[in-house]
Amino acid sequence: MAEYDDEPTGSALGFAKGFGLTFSNMFRHVATEQYPFDVKKTAPRYHGRHVLNRHPDGLEKCVGCELCAWACPADAIYVEGGDNTEEERYSPGERYGKVYQINYLRCIFCGLCIEACPTRSLTMSNEYELALDNRQDLIFTKEQLMAPLLPGMEATPHPMRLGDTDTDYYVREKGLGEVGDIQSTANAAAKTHSGRAQAIEVGRHHA
């Protein structure tokens, strides 16, 4: 016990030292977050509730390809595709997502569906307050998942407003192939290499 002899145990000093440490915690910064009253922002890429996006004219981006449902490891997504007609058009091109459901009691918010989506129709929001008291209401349908109509958007179904064909919605490069235009030549070169992905990337910038 010799090594502890210089410790002021048992004395009044030891008492003060011990409780002094406890008391000093009174003045330390409080780490507690006051959640429901003061909500901290999530990280910008937080995986929250899904959103089905729209083109600038209000047409749906979803083409009903079911790649999200295939990618889902928890089988939480159910998609049924439908055919667009000239009278009743929901998305540019041939097909649209007729039925779209996400079961939030299966979804693990991994984001693989977002990676799989070829038109960037499906993205995730930062909303997370999802608790409900029955299982039925936690299967979100297409109406709940669709993004709200922004100014300039029109509720579906309606004809294509941004062009005559669906390519106008995805690839909108002016002067492609003109001699001397370095930018468009680079774009064309990249296109031959990565094809479809590049076309979508360009469409995304224009959207």
SS3 of 169-191: HHCCCCCCCCCCCHHHHHHHHHH
Compare residues 4 and 37 and give the one whose CB is closer to other proteins.
37
**x/- letters, 64..93, toward other proteins (CB under 8 A):** ---------xxx------------------
Is there binding between residue 24 and other proteins (CB under 8 A)? no
Compare residues 21 and 43 and give the one whose CB is closer to other proteins.
43
* Rg (alpha carbons) of the chain, rounded to whole number: 28
Residue 73 Cβ vs other proteins, minimum distance, rounded to whole Å: 6
Do residues 168 and 160 touch, judged by C-beta distance below 8 A?
Answer: yes
Q: Of 7-15, 35-43, 52-60, 115-123, which segment contacts other proteins by CB under 8 A?
A: 35-43
**99-128 positions binding other proteins, by CB under 8 A:** 103-110, 128
**133-162 positions binding other proteins, by CB under 8 A:** 133-135, 138
Q: How far apart are CA 116 and CA 129, in angstroms?
A: 25
Is there binding between residue 32 and other proteins (CB under 8 A)? yes
Is there binding between residue 29 and other proteins (CB under 8 A)? no
With CB under 8 A as the contact rule, the residue among 25, 26, 27, 37 that binds other proteins is 37
| Tokens, residue 59 | 């047409």
Q: How far apart are CA 31 and CA 11, in angstroms?
A: 34
- 98 sits in which H/E element: strand 95-103
With CB under 8 A as the contact rule, the residue among 16, 39, 99, 149 that binds other proteins is 39
Q: How far apart are CA 168 and CA 184, in angstroms?
A: 17
Cα dist from 97 to 23, 128, 183, whole Å = 62, 25, 35
Binding site residues, other proteins, CB under 8 A: 31-39, 73-75, 103-110, 128-135, 138
